[in-house]
A and B are shown apart, each in its own frame.
Chain A
Amino acid sequence: MARTARFGARLDVVIFGACVLLSLISMVLPTNLRDPVAGTLRRSLVAPLMRLQLGAEQWRAAYMRSERVELSRDTVALAAARVPTLETENDRLRKLLGFGSKLQWGFIPAEALQGRGRAEDFTVTLSAGSRAGVRERSLVVAPEGVVGVVQTVDPTMSLAILFAHPDFRVSAMSADASAVGIVQPHVTTSSPTSEPAFLRSERYLLEMRGVPFRATLKPGAVVYSSGLGGIYPKGIPVGVVLAEIKTPESWARTYLLRPAVNPAELTSVMILTPQRTAAGLVNVWANVGPVDSATRSIVAAGDSLARQSATKEAEARRAVIDSAARLIVDSLRRDTSATPRPAELPPLDSAGRARAVRDSIAAARVRRVRRDSVAAARAKDSVRRDTVPGVRP
């Protein structure tokens, strides 16, 4: 037994030594002998393992490729999802740029950061403060119209109340100033079912109260600030008439307005300095409302036609006067030898022409009288004396 064990141990050592020796020989084999051995191993023992490895690497390559494809698809989808947002932002910035060029001076651009809390529905945080020139009660506007008023000012930021704030009031009027009233936030009635469904679905609605009963506003009419009250200058769009609502006040009408600015889409605003507000904003929103712009264009077209016809009439009159003056000058030159030659004539102004016309008319009258008297005398001379009764030749 021990002999067998010893034999086994020796055999193990011999095998180990042989393996080490073969390994060392393999390491020092020249290339021309090593390559056939390695090639034989690759073609026989390692070949199925290599096929396994090749398959695994192909799987990995396919997985990586699919991951890349998925990544690029996600990137494209993400970019496509951002396009509408970018378009909207681009449109808004373009509007703001155009608005800034219309305002020309006295405004502070600011980013509007909207609160997400329920109590922050009526306020907006602005990214400009007293260091930028913002003051309390500065007017906040957007390219579409009125936004609100600055309430609190910090050095680097300020807080403004929106038109949806319960304290918001602005004196407003229609585009033709036929209807004047006070605009304030629309508070939902206790029985909301009494309102039409489309009104209940709207947020931030306004109402224009105290409109005289004789003044009616059609849906779609733009309502502007009237300038009464001191805070809001005249001509800022406040909203668009949605419908008339029934109130207990029977002596005045109340209209429901959709605000010109949607607070949910508010990102950039302009804060007007007090000097700019005092200077007035009448021409800034000149082409805001399509109805007003159409009216203005019609009026402008009518004015231009009237101006054109007046110009033509004046030109015709001037032409008549000129021709008359020319005729008179010519006739005067023919009648009187003492009349200076045309080259010596002084240039006639309009007063001179009128005087010449008057003179020529007077001279013509004199000449006609003379001609009549001469003709009468001739007629008297042409009568034969023998035909005259009682007269002998």
Chain B
Amino acid sequence: MNWGATVRTVLLCAVLIFLHYTLRPLLAWRASPDFLIIALLLASVRVRPGVAAMLGFIIGLASDSLALSAFGAGALAMTLIGFSWSRLKAVFFADSALLNGFFLFLGKWAYEILMNLVERRTHGAELMMQIFVWSSLSAAVTAVAGVLALMMLRPVLETRGT
């Protein structure tokens, strides 16, 4: 990845992180899109797996600093997701919006499941409800938002080869 592509990726990630802390509170949906996951996906497929894991760790730890009950869980989940996406990009990641959306859904859902299990705030049926209804719904919303973001940002991101 050349410097121009790196700068564009960093800028787009910054925009997505900005949206995460501005648009999400404005929308205040119960199942809102996770722009941090989208930013991580966007960056992970363009960097080495180690860098992606480190990026996931930093983003996860930063978000964990606001949720002390599961400190480190977000970092672990983001590290796993970033590394996996970066490793899988050569195998699966064609330039397919549907595939990107599917991986976004899986990544966000895995993140939610891990956070729910580590936080231990809910148990039994409520935990199942949270995982299979609200977490999956949030993952779906994130996938849709991510696909939309990727489609909109494609003209900018496609210049990486030049």
Chain A residues engaging chain B, CB cutoff 8 angstroms = 8, 11-16, 19-20, 22-29, 34-35, 37-39, 41-42, 45-46, 49-50, 52-53, 55-57, 59-60
Q: Roughly how many angstroms separate A56 CA and B26 CA in the complex, as a whole number?
A: 6
Number of A-B contacts (CB under 8 A): 103
Known: A15-B53, A19-B53, A60-B26; 11 extra A-B contacts, CB below 8 A, are A11-B50, A12-B48, A12-B50, A12-B51, A16-B79, A19-B56, A20-B79, A25-B72, A27-B76, A38-B65, A60-B28
B66 contact from A11, A24, A28, A46, Cβ within 8 A: A46
B154 to chain A, nearest CB (A): 26
Q: Is B57 an interface residue (CB 8 A)?
A: yes
Chain A's closest residue to B70 (CB) is: A27
Chain B's closest residue to A52 (CB) is: B21
A51 to chain B, nearest CB (A): 9
Query: What are the residues of chain A within 8 A of B70 when measuring CB–CB?
Result: 27
Q: Roughly how many angstroms separate A278 CA and B52 CA in the complex, as a whole number?
A: 100
- B residues 7-31 near A (Cβ < 8 Å) are 17-18, 21-26, 28
24 A-B Cβ contacts within 8 A? A11-B50, A12-B49, A12-B53, A19-B53, A20-B53, A20-B79, A26-B75, A27-B71, A27-B76, A34-B68, A34-B71, A38-B64, A38-B65, A38-B68, A45-B65, A46-B65, A50-B66, A52-B22, A53-B25, A56-B24, A56-B25, A56-B26, A59-B26, A60-B25
Chain B interface size, under 10 / 10 to 19 / 20 to 34 / 35 or more: 35 or more
Q: Roughly how many angstroms separate A50 CA and B17 CA in the complex, as a whole number?
A: 11
Q: Roughly how many angstroms separate A15 CA and B56 CA in the complex, as a whole number?
A: 11
| Centre residue among A11, A26, A35 by max chain B CB count within 10 A | A26
Query: What are the residues of chain A within 8 A of B58 when measuring CB–CB?
Result: 45
Which label, helix, strand, loop or mixed, suits the secondary structure of the A interface?
Answer: helix
Chain B residues engaging chain A, CB cutoff 8 angstroms = 17-18, 21-26, 28, 48-51, 53-54, 56-58, 60-62, 64-66, 68, 70-73, 75-76, 79-80, 83, 86, 118
B49 contact from A16, A20, A22, Cβ within 8 A: A16
Ordered nearest first, which 4 A-B pairs have the shortest CB separation?
A26-B72, A12-B50, A15-B50, A27-B72
Q: Roughly how many angstroms separate A27 CA and B61 CA in the complex, as a whole number?
A: 10
Chain B's closest residue to A8 (CB) is: B48
A331 to chain B, nearest CB (A): 116
Known: A12-B49, A15-B54. A20 touches B76 (CB 8 A): yes
Q: Could you tell me if A56 and B56 are in contact, using CB atoms closer than 8 angstroms?
A: no
| Centre residue among A19, A35, A38 by max chain B CB count within 10 A | A19
